[in-house]
Structure 1
Amino acid sequence: MNRPAAMHPVATSTAPSIRVLVADDHVTVREGLVAIIGRQPDMTVVAEAANGREAVTLWARHRPDLTLLDLQMPLLDGVRALEEIRQLDANARAVMLTTFDTDADIARAIKAGARGYLLKDAPREELLAGIRKVHAGETSIGPAIVAKLVAGISHEALTRREQEVLALLARGKSNKEIGTDLFISETTVKSHLRGIFTKLNVLSRTEAIAAASRRGLVQI
């Protein structure tokens, strides 16, 4: 009599879920991110934080594979939160997600150890790809950010005196007032302004202030 063949369980191989902590103080944005990530078969949201301090606390509790951090949050901003998280684990992986794209913001995030930097208006596919790349040990900087960094690198750096003139310009000072404050002549001020305009690739005082603000050189 023929014996029935032995039944063997069918082997299944599913990639382990990427455990993500989402930190954003805007509840609508946070809930949207949680929903997007939660629908992915290879990702799961383990915790949500409404501020930077809570993000650090929840990270210590859940030890996620990756943290998605908003740059601007109350109590502790994204960069400072990441610095504290990396004090707990130097290998902690994070993606900075923000509406801010000034050179200074990008530099702060990267210096703090962010492996990804994406704008909040980036396409959903770019966000998800960024999470996967950073989890895999790669870096992920959005195309718009890369273009901005390349543009910034291509610009000649301002001298210290040009930075001082630019700061006073952003405060609404006239050439005469700038000269008085810095103990230099108006002619010298105009010379520095020409250098600033050339390096920032602008034609007017207003454009210079706007360009400098975008690059994080001045606060207005």
Structure 2
Amino acid sequence: MLAALDCVLVEVGADEVVFVATDRYRLAVRTVRPVEFGGAAGRVLVRADELAGLSRWAAAGEVVELEIRGEGAVIVRDGESREIALVDAEYPAYQGILDGLAPPVCRVVVDRAALRAALEGREVVAFDIGSGELRIDGGEPLEVIGSGAARLGFTASLLAAALDVSVGPDVLLEICSQDRPVVVRSADQGTFTTLVMPVRLDG
């Protein structure tokens, strides 16, 4: 299991390609639509650091091909190919976590950059959400759009990391309780989702 946590799960199929990563405190899921698909659906594990390096190279191409071949995989961009090793390990059952989420009691959209800036230099932060605003540690309010009210805590670095990899100017926060994962979605890109565990607040 520990080896799997250093990896990204890649699930390929005719309708979608899903990338999943977790470190036990966060779970990130990104879904993209393939332009073309051939062969059989399947799932493979690749080392996260290796995939991160290749993703920067692949991003320079307009179309990228992923070919899975036995114990390895090949990424092709503009006629140039790079090999990537596969990891044989058991990955956490992430879909059960997603399916087990309760309906949110609080659901708000907030400016991603403003929220990220408010977390800078902090360790544990207290969120108070309600009446169209979000206050962090009782500070200046951030405007939010949505419904519901909630008070909960976060490890600032974990939430900041989720915001850093989100897409677009706004993020959607879906909160079901103080002790259950909070869903962080790119407000204009619903195919990217991160789950972040809140922390207990004193008092």
TM category, shorter = under 0.3
- Which structure has the higher relative contact order (CA within 8 Å, separation 6+)? 2
Using the size of structure 1 for normalisation, the TM-score is 0.25
| Greater helix proportion | 1
Structure with larger Rg? 1
